[in-house]
Structure 1
Amino acid sequence: MKINEMKVNEYLNLLKSDAPAPGGGSASALAGAQGIALFEMVCDLTIGKEKFAEYQEICAQAKADGEKLYKELTEAIDKDTEAFNLVSSAFKLPKATEEEKKVRSKAIAEGTLAATEVPFKSMELAYEGLLIVQKLVGKSNPNAVSDLGVAVLNLMSCIKGAWLNVKINLPGVKDEAAAKGFQEKGEKIILEAEALEKELYGRVLELL
């Protein structure tokens, strides 16, 4: 069964078990999906309400944009675990002969690259989510502004958590150009996301 199809208690029981996956990468993607789900809820609580007529277009667009992010982040919950399993399986390959060593090294490199790409993508998706929330604060149902604040926190948790998973895998990425790209782009996302989180959380507090 896929993780994103599990009941909440099933997922949590698996997460707290001694199984090495799902781990932090999957949990980060789930946090991101929760962040998207929360701002989509706020959109739904705004769309169709006459007293929020001026916010209809903004919320409808945010809802539509969020759907794609939500789909990709929920898929990332499983993709992260699958990538970890690739690496784990690669390390278990035989290495008695030179040919076996080559096959094993190639499999480890491919698995490690996948295990880096998945959380990095989660970072990008969650940052896109923050940019959408930026448009919604003060321009959606004010009764649900606290939910936008929680959305911000979940999205930031996804970004920072996914970054840790990128960082731990980077030393194993053999493609130096790819590794450098992950490092530089990841640092940029972190800096911009932290500034945006501070701004948005502050604005939410002011509106409460």
Structure 2
Amino acid sequence: MKLIDMRVTDYLDVLKSDAPAPGGGSVSALAGAQGMGLLLMVCDLTLGKEKFAEYQEVCAQAKTEGQQLFQELREAVDKDTEAFNLVSAAFKMPKGTDQEKAERSAAIAAGTLVATEVPFRSMELAYDGLLTAQKLIGYSNPNAASDLGVAVLNLMACVKGAWLNVKINLPGVKDLAAAADFQEKGQKIVSEAEFLEKELYKQIEQAL
């Protein structure tokens, strides 16, 4: 069964067990999906309301953007665990002959690249989510301002949590150019997201 299809209690039981997956990458993606879910809720609590007529265009655009981000982050919950399982399976491959060693090494490298790409994509999605949340501040139902704030916090948790999962896999990325690209772009996303989250949170808190 996919993680995303589990009952919350079952998911939490698996999470707290000694099973190595799901782990931080899946949890980060779920935080991002939760953030986008809240953001979409804020849109729906604004759209179609006559007293928020001036916010309709902004919220409609945010909802369109948000639905795609939400769906991708939902999928990333399981993709991250699948990537971990790919690496784990590669490490269990036989290594009795030179050919087996070469095949095992190649499989580990390929799996590690996927296990780096998946959380990196989660970072990108969550950062885009923060940019979408920025559009809604002051242009959405003020009664849902706290929900928008929690959305921002969850999206930031996704960015930073996924970044940790990128970093722990970087030493295993054999393509040095790709590893350097992940490092540079990932750090940039984190820095920009931290600045944006701080500003958004302050604005939301002041509006309450």
Deviation at 1:133, TM superposition (A): 0.4
* 1:12-161 correspondence to structure 2 within 5 Å: 12-161=12-161
The residue number in structure 2 matching 1:166 is 166
Deviation at 1:99, TM superposition (A): 0.1
Deviation at 1:65, TM superposition (A): 0.6
Normalised to the residue count of structure 2, the TM-score between the two structures is: 0.99
Give the paired residue count. Answer: 208
Structure 2 distance, partners of 1:77, 1:39, is 18
Deviation at 1:49, TM superposition (A): 0.3
Deviation at 1:10, TM superposition (A): 0.8
Query: Aligned Cα RMSD in Å?
Result: 0.4
Structure 2 distance, partners of 1:71, 1:197, is 22
The residue number in structure 2 matching 1:5 is 5
What SS does the aligned partner of 1:202 have? helix
User: Which amino acid in the other structure matches residue 88 of structure 2?
Assistant: S
Deviation at 1:70, TM superposition (A): 0.6
User: Which amino acid in the other structure matches residue 109 of structure 1?
Assistant: A
Structure 2 distance, partners of 1:67, 1:136, is 15
Structure 2 distance, partners of 1:109, 1:10, is 32
User: Which amino acid in the other structure matches residue 104 of structure 1?
Assistant: R
Q: Which ranges in structure 2 are unaligned for 5 or more consecutive residues? A: none
The residue number in structure 1 matching 2:187 is 187
User: Which amino acid in the other structure matches residue 73 of structure 2?
Assistant: L
Deviation at 1:109, TM superposition (A): 0.2
Q: Which ranges in structure 1 are unaligned for 5 or more consecutive residues? A: none
Normalised to the residue count of structure 1, the TM-score between the two structures is: 0.99
Deviation at 1:18, TM superposition (A): 0.7
What SS does the aligned partner of 1:47 have? coil
Deviation at 1:53, TM superposition (A): 0.1
4+ aligned runs moved over 6 Å, structure 1: none
Deviation at 1:23, TM superposition (A): 0.2
